[in-house]
């Protein structure tokens, strides 16, 4: 079984990336593509070290103000976090299609469908097959993302 990657570059448009993620989730659920269609968001502008302390402080409020801290802390801290990547960083979406050898027709249909749909079409989709020279790089990048 081989897999195919589709790299989508949304630039700094966080909204389109989230719309594409939502559409992929809908397809995954509707067509039962749980292990066959996987994706990961990549934000190369932000390092992993910067993202971790912000999420830890937002998730661990003080016990006495647990209910107040969550509503106040989440709304106050999530807005700058959302606008941060959109304002200064790029957003890439890496989609992995993983069909078995007897599902070639399904694989071909999804490889043709995803780049032709609207939120993906504007993101300059690039299909990376197993025979492409940059396949190893895409595979390593997909495995390294959280």
The reply to whether 132 and 108 lie within a common domain is yes
pLDDT of residue 89: 78
Task: Specify the 3-state DSSP secondary structure of 35.
Answer: coil
Quote the CA–CA distance of 48 and 53 in Å, as a whole number.
9
Contact yes or no for 119/23 (Cβ under 8 A): yes
pLDDT of residue 47: 57
Reading the block at residue 10, the tokens are 């949304």
Print pLDDT tens along the chain (146 aa). Answer: 579 999 999 999 999 999 999 999 999 999 999 999 999 999 886 655 454 333 333 344 444 444 444 444 444 444 444 444 444 579 999 999 999 999 999 999 999 999 999 999 999 999 999 999 999 999 999 999 97
For 60, phi and psi rounded to 5 degrees? -115, 70
Contact yes or no for 39/94 (Cβ under 8 A): yes
Reading the block at residue 18, the tokens are 């989230």
Chain centre distance of CA 133: 23
The reply to whether 37 and 103 lie within a common domain is yes
First to last CA, the chain: 23
Range of the domain at 64: 48-86
Chain centre distance of CA 21: 6
Q: Is the four-CA dihedral 140, 144, 145, 146 of positive or negative sign?
A: positive
pLDDT of residue 86: 43
- The enclosing domain of 104 has a CATH number of 3.30.70
The reply to whether 19 and 75 lie within a common domain is no
pLDDT of residue 46: 65
The reply to whether 79 and 93 lie within a common domain is no
The conformation of residue 96, written as its DSSP 8-state character, comes to E
- H or E, element range at 44: none
- Please count the structural domains in the chain: 2
Boundary residue ending a domain (60, 86, 112): 86
């Amino acid at each position: 079984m081989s897999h195919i990657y589709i790299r989508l570059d949304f630039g700094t448009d966080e909204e389109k990336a989230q719309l594409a993620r939502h559409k992929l989730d809908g397809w995954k659920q509707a067509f039962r593509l749980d292990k066959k269609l996987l994706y990961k968001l990549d934000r190369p502008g932000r390092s992993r070290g910067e993202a971790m302390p912000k999420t830890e402080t937002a998730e661990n409020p003080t016990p006495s103000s647990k209910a107040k801290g969550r509503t106040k802390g989440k709304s106050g801290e999530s807005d700058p976090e959302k606008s941060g990547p959109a304002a200064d960083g790029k957003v890439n979406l890496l989609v992995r299609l993983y069909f078995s050898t007897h599902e070639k027709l399904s694989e071909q249909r999804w490889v043709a469908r995803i780049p032709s749909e609207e939120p993906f079409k504007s993101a300059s989709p690039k299909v990376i097959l197993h025979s492409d020279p940059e396949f190893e790089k895409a595979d390593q990048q997909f495995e390294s993302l959280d």
